[in-house]
Amino acid sequence: MHKDKVQRLAERLIEKETIVLRDLQEILGDRPYDLGAEMNEYIKISDEHQSRVEELGNFVSLDEKLNGRINEFIENRVELDKKSNLY
């Protein structure tokens, strides 16, 4: 029982290097007692922050793809212009 949880915890640490409370809860399960109102509020705020970070990461990824396509277009245009003796 515990060996499986330790194995999953080790795999998660290898995967992410740093884990958070949600990772521990997912692997080990909920704690046998309440964390308290302040900790629950902290977790709620932390989860909201993480969601915003993930959304921002998606925008950054789209921006990188767009920049890559723009650069590719420019490079192709330069090559076409060179072949056309415009340079």
Helices (H), 1-87: 2-16, 21-28, 37-83
Domain ranges of the chain: 1-33, 34-87
Confidence of residue 86 (pLDDT cuts 50, 70, 90): low
Q: How far is C-alpha 82 from the geometric centre of its chain's CA atoms?
A: 41
9-68 pLDDT, tens digit each? 999 999 988 888 888 889 998 888 888 888 888 888 888 888 887 777 767 677 777 777
pLDDT in tens, 65-85: 777 778 788 888 888 778 777
87 has pLDDT over 60: no
What is the value of pTM for the model shown?
0.47
